[in-house]
Structure 1
Amino acid sequence: MTDASRRQLLARTGALGAGIAFTGTVSALFEGTAAAQPSGRSGYGPLVPDPAGLLDLPAGFRYKVLSREGDQLRSGEGIVPSNHDGMAALPGRRGRTYLVRNHENRVTAKHRVPAIAGITYDPNGLGGCTALELDGRNNVLSERVAIAGTAVNCAGGPTPWHTWLTCEETEDTAGTNGYTKDHGFIFETDPADPRRTGAVPLTAMGRFAHEAIAIDPDHGTVYETEDAFIKPFGLFYRFHPNKPLGGVGSLRAGGALEAMRVPGVPDLSAVQETGTRFEGVEWVPVPDPLARQTPIRLQDFGPKGITHAQKLEGCYWGGSCVYFVSSFAISKDGAAADHFGQVWKYEPRKRRLTLVVVFGPSTDVQLPGESPDNITLAPGGGLMVCEDGEGAQHVFGLDRKGKVYPMARGRQNIGTAEEPAWGEFAGVTFAPDGRTMFVNCYTPGTTFAVTGPWC
């Protein structure tokens, strides 16, 4: 998420309201993942208006509100913070689930993450994470601060050892916006025992506007996206830990940070044809991961340069590949070409990068009005995609056949009766047993648990 609305940016191109279609082999997004939905079925039917005015779902589905901004944290530590964003559901003991949730708070946040001794990085940082412990029926057993004193916690990703890596989407340094420490780091937090992880920046993983991460479960390599929509655009990184797959705290041991170079391709937006492959992808050491004087994307990577991409966001591991999303590219902003979303696949063993899907203008209004932002793999096959922008806000499903269907619509009006507006969705994720979809409404911060006839 950023302060700039994607719909406002798309409006510059004159394509706003045209809908979004895609080209490419959608099945390639799901290699090595769950089985496809039953043949002949796409989606779960039309959305049914919610009498309570919170969340529309298909018939047979129901929701439970787990937590709302402004309420009291059950731990007694203070108020539930604002700006619910990236999230993960991690397994706990005796069938319980830990739901760890980012709060993308800037200095203007209405409700900060309470500063708690032992788990606060910068007392003037208003962001961080909260953690909910749920029983098998999604009853909230506890809710507390997991990390505090960070800033603009956007997305992140789970680790194989069931902790959460929360990412700061900022490059603010100490003395900027009242901060007492540098920001732009990744932090590890254990929702089961936050004091076990504390509030320690994983400095070797780089200081930049982080968005999401994905970890290779076999080798421990961490892939990282950089969300920069103003030129020079962000980079795609990989981090080789000194202690790969070492468990809680092991990433503090450092490692090597590298940035991806696609020979002959300085800007990924220039690639428009799905199925285009690049062999021999190179990885270049980052000169100064801490960006002491110069942001990483502006550093000198040698005469061959480095490969940039606008708005790198979602990132996930599937099978033996890592997938990452460029949400859009706009030539007026300096991109090589316009697009409304790309999904790329990188195969580490083959050092091969493939453009899998491209989103673009269409007259089919049934398709999502935005390119993918927060995404998650659905246990029954396919993806769930959070819509991010103005107007009606949805969680959309995308099945293996390329069919797009509405899964949820937000009904909380944050505008007026004459000019309604709805908060975007974020942090969509599934319980470890696949029976519950959790999702956040960013504003007003609301966390939902959705159950029903998942297939």
Structure 2
Amino acid sequence: MSATRRQILARTGASVAGIAFTGAVSELFAGTAAASPLGSRAGYGPLLPDPAGLLDLPAGFSYKVLSRQGERLRSGEGVVPGNHDGMGAFAGPRGRIHLIRNHENRATARLGVPTVEGLTYDPAAKGGCTVLTLDGRHDVLDERVGVAGTAVNCAGGPTPWGTWLTCEETEDKAGTNGYTKDHGFVFEVDGADPRRTGAVPLTAMGRFQHEAVAVDPRSGIVYETEDAFQHPFGLFYRFLPNKPLGGTGSLRAGGALEAMRVPGVPDLSVVQETGACFEGVEWVPVPDPQAVTTPIRLQDFGPRGITHAQKLEGCYWGGRGNGPGAVYFVSSFARTRDGSGATHFGQVWKYEPHRRRLTLVVVFGPSTDIQLPGESPDNICLAPTGGLMVCEDGDGGQHVYGVDRKGRVYPVARGAQNIGTPEAPEWGEFAGVTFSPDGSTMYVNCYTPGTTFAVTGPWR
């Protein structure tokens, strides 16, 4: 999140013509329900101004505000923190839903996650997660701290056993920024009972600038992206747990961390053609997963090196039917001026574990309308109804966009909360888009001011 799409376009002088997706866009929908035909028109029609000035939606859709920063937590533990980011929705008993929400707070955050005994890792850190429990009408029954004392909780991912893995996008050590403990870990949060998971760093999964994770539901292997900000950039990892698919707490049993090596490709940015395929992908043991003296991406992986990529962000598991499935991961952009081997405006990669094969399936931009999400994809959500949702993070108006199987882009929501002035308006980015387990409701966060919405309507 250190640079926006529009800033990148402005700096590079890229054109702003029609939106461009190249490659097998349908790959992004693997494992979702088939979408209903959209005919010649994509989406749900124009967005209508919200009289309340919060969220503009198409006709027939409505929203409910579930939570806003600064309000009191229903648990009495303090106030709702700010910087709402990644989020997951999990089924609970009696039709309830547990919504687990990240707060990407740094040490200087004004509204940090309240420290709670038994749920706090480092009292000096202000990030973490909060948990909302909803009934079938999206009324908030409870809102409490899920984990506290973590730092810069950006994204993460769900586990097959119904917990959330929240990721620290930092590698600050104790003594930096006032922290009393090392950071850069993954933490597990149980929405039904956060005290079951507590505030225990899953250290075997590595200490680095985590972004997102995806779990193979057949093997239990966890894939992890690293959004490193400086060259040499991040790596793509897999964690082989000693106790795979063992339920809550199983990841604490340890395991082995490995990094992906694509033979002959030290930098994924140099691959520009969709469909480019690499067989025989290798996985190399990480010399020091705790990065005690050296960040993992700078460690010695031998004379053949390791494969890097700039801005590794979204990561999710997809599959069709009972097939073996694949993991997809996103490189939001790459720029030679930053040290990458080539410039691109977004890639989506597919790794098939059973074939040890990596394929570039989608390339975004560069000839893209800056009002549309045609480059620099960030975290994305695969909707159970068969659509792809993209949260916009840029200058000007902020949207949640949908993308259909033909690559057509359409607006789903637009932020209406002006955090600027009438003369120079600004709107906070969207984050954490996710769907209820039955696919009937879209949940999404406005990052600033921190607001969580439930959106219902005639989803196809």
TM range (shorter): over 0.9
Letter in 1 for 2:421: T
Letter in 2 for 1:71: E
| Alignment match, 1:407 | 412
Which digits, 9 at most, give the CA deviation of each residue in 1:5-54, with x for residues without a partner?
Answer: 44334432112755652211111222232212325152111111111111
Which consecutive unaligned segments of at least 5 residues does structure 1 have?
none
| Alignment match, 1:116 | 116
In structure 2, relative to structure 1, the CA distance for the partners of 1:305 and 1:437 (3 Å cut) is same
In structure 2, relative to structure 1, the CA distance for the partners of 1:290 and 1:16 (3 Å cut) is farther
Residues 15 and 368, structure 2, Cα contact 8 Å, conserved in 1 = no
* DSSP 3-state at the match of 1:361: coil
Residues 114 and 145, structure 1, Cα contact 8 Å, conserved in 2 = yes
| Alignment match, 1:419 | 424
Distance 1:32 1:395 in 2: 22
Give me the CA root mean square deviation.
1.3
Distance 1:17 1:39 in 2: 26
TM-score (norm 2): 0.97
Letter in 1 for 2:23: G
Alpha-carbon shift at residue 400 of structure 1 (Å): 1.0
Residues 370 and 387, structure 1, Cα contact 8 Å, conserved in 2 = no
Distance 2:420 2:374 in 1: 20
Alpha-carbon shift at residue 362 of structure 1 (Å): 1.9
1:428 to 433, 437, 443: 433
Which digits, 9 at most, give the CA deviation of each residue in 1:238-269, with x for residues without a partner?
Answer: 00000000000000000000000000101101
Which consecutive unaligned segments of at least 5 residues does structure 2 have?
320-324
* DSSP 3-state at the match of 1:28: helix
Distance 1:39 1:393 in 2: 24
| Alignment match, 2:156 | 156
Which digits, 9 at most, give the CA deviation of each residue in 1:283-336, with x for residues without a partner?
Answer: 000000000000000000001100000000000000001000000001100111
* DSSP 3-state at the match of 1:260: strand
| Alignment match, 1:302 | 302
| Alignment match, 1:97 | 97
| Alignment match, 2:30 | 31
| Alignment match, 2:355 | 350
Which digits, 9 at most, give the CA deviation of each residue in 1:89-134, with x for residues without a partner?
Answer: 0000011000000000001211010000000000001000000000
Distance 1:32 1:192 in 2: 26
Distance 2:369 2:148 in 1: 43
| Alignment match, 2:64 | 64
* DSSP 3-state at the match of 2:12: coil
List structure 1 segments (4+ residues) > 6 angstroms apart after TM superposition: none
Alpha-carbon shift at residue 428 of structure 1 (Å): 0.2
1:386 and 2:391 matched: yes
Distance 2:224 2:299 in 1: 17
Alpha-carbon shift at residue 380 of structure 1 (Å): 1.6
Alpha-carbon shift at residue 374 of structure 1 (Å): 1.8
* DSSP 3-state at the match of 1:340: coil
Distance 2:338 2:18 in 1: 21
| Range 14-23 or range 158-167, more displaced | 14-23
Which digits, 9 at most, give the CA deviation of each residue in 1:74-100, with x for residues without a partner?
Answer: 111101001000000000001100000
Alpha-carbon shift at residue 363 of structure 1 (Å): 5.4
Alpha-carbon shift at residue 342 of structure 1 (Å): 0.3
| Alignment match, 2:322 | none
Alpha-carbon shift at residue 371 of structure 1 (Å): 2.5
